[in-house]
Amino acid sequence: MDSKLRAILPDQELLKLYQQMVLSREFEESCAEQYTKGHITGFLHLYSGQEAVAVGATAGLHKDDYILSAYREHAQAIVRGADPKRVMAELFGKATGICKGKGGSMHLFDPGLSFMGGYAIVGGQFPIAVGLAFAAKYRKEDRISACFFGDGAVNQGTFHEGLNWARLWNLPVLFVCENNFYGIGTEVHRSSALADIHKRACGYDIPAVRIDGMDVMAVYEAVKWGVDWVRENSRPYLIEAMTYRFRGHSMADPGKYRSAAEVELWKARDPIVGFAKRLADERIATGEQLEVIREKAAAIVQEAVKFAEESPWPEDDEVYKDIYV
């Protein structure tokens, strides 16, 4: 049997996508446990269920392309290359964290990886992504901005302002909407007059597509095509990936607004399970090999938790650093 997957990527790359999705899931589920234990405090928004988007999209981007995201961004950072140990330490608020334990879950940042931040204010990232793209074009650098956002963000003024500017000045921005159907507890059709978010790009003369965000290969192919198009034309493009979060908005969310049947329906489309089946069906890996990948990912996460636990707290003095006072 011809492998459809192999026609797109070599085995090694396919397994890397699987590894990244599994690592993301293990990481997030471990975060939930650490939150319950009180090791992670504040607001914790988990990515479980949406892995195909971050993993497929990051694979489709070039290494130097900027990534900006919202506050559900642990996986985005890790998949881009952030060390899970230092991300976990950040969530704990430890000195060894990726942001010295001062930013926490919602404000991950690593300019060395061109990871330009999680943004806790919904829609805060749009104009910044546009500005980065402007600067890249101005400096004639081969770099685009990938701006990830949720379905809730499209009703902020910054979405409309950002899209308009991006097209007006023909800036290389790839907008990626992760439509998981809910802004906290409010369904997308109860907050958006036009719930088909990709269609909104028409209002700014930006081409757009809606894709299956539970299928990592669909995301990869769409993003790769989009990235090439944005580069070639130096113009913005928008992708709407339909996805679902398996957990509540945050750990504090009782999640009464969704029926158990609805959640189960989407869990049956788990992006990891689905991809594992395809890898096995196309004889790219056996179930046992995939299980080894999962175990290794779990060990990485375990090590990350241990690192975070054993890391020191920041000194009180740290409060006064990284700002002029």
Partner 1 sequence: MPQLNMVQAINLALREEMERDDRVVLLGEDVGKDGGVFRVTEGLFDRFGAERLIDTPLSESAIVGAAVGMAVYGLLPVAEIQFMGFVYSAFDQIFAHAARLRSRSRSRFTVPLVVRAPYGGGIKAPELHEESTEAFFCHMPGVKVVIPSGPYVAKGLLVSAIRDPDPVIFLEPTRLYRLIKEEVPEGEYAVPLGKARIVREGSKVTVVAWGSMLERVMKAVEGYDAEVIDPLTLSPFDWETLLASVRETGRLVIVHEAQFTGGFGAEIAATVAQEAILYLRAPVVRVASPDVHVPLAKLVEHYLPSVERIRGTVDEVMKY
Q: How far is the CB of 325 from partner 1 (least distance, A)?
A: 5
Question: Which residues inside 248-287 make contact with partner 1, applying CB under 8 A?
Answer: 252-253, 256-257
CA 72 to chain centre: 7
CA 179 to chain centre: 12
Instruction: Show Cβ contacts of residue 291 under 8 Å, excluding neighbours closer than 6 positions.
Output: none
- Which one of the spans 10-18, 35-43, 128-136, 303-311 is the region binding partner 1 (CB under 8 A)? 35-43
Q: How far is the CB of 20 from partner 1 (least distance, A)?
A: 27
- Which one of the spans 74-82, 147-155, 164-172, 294-302 is the region binding partner 1 (CB under 8 A)? 147-155
Tokens encoding 37: 């234990």
Q: How far is the CB of 75 from partner 1 (least distance, A)?
A: 20
Q: Does residue number 236 form part of the binding site for partner 1 (CB under 8 A)?
A: no
6 vs 102, beta carbon nearer partner 1: 102
- Which one of the spans 25-33, 138-146, 152-160, 237-245 is the region binding partner 1 (CB under 8 A)? 152-160
Q: Does residue number 164 form part of the binding site for partner 1 (CB under 8 A)?
A: no
DSSP string over 35-83:
HHTTSS-S-----TT-HHHHHHHHHHS-TTSEEEE-SS-HHHHHHHT--
Instruction: Tell me which amino acid residue 241 is.
Output: A
Question: Which residues inside 77-106 make contact with partner 1, applying CB under 8 A?
Answer: 92-93, 101-104, 106
Instruction: Show Cβ contacts of residue 8 under 8 Å, excluding neighbours closer than 6 positions.
Output: 217, 220, 221
Q: How far is the CB of 230 from partner 1 (least distance, A)?
A: 26
Site size toward partner 1, by CB under 8 A? 40
Q: Does residue number 42 form part of the binding site for partner 1 (CB under 8 A)?
A: yes
DSSP state of 86: H
Which among 140, 120, 38, 6 has a CA at the least distance from the CA of 73?
120
DSSP string over 154-180:
GGSHHHHHHHHHHHHTT--EEEEEEE-
- Residue from 49, 123, 236, 271 in contact with partner 1 (CB under 8 A): 123
What distance in Å separates the CA atoms of residue 148 and residue 60, rounded to the nearest whole number?
A: 14
**Binding region for partner 1 (CB under 8 A):** 41-43, 92-93, 101-104, 106-107, 120-123, 152-153, 155-158, 183-186, 190-192, 252-253, 256-257, 313-314, 316, 318-320, 323, 325
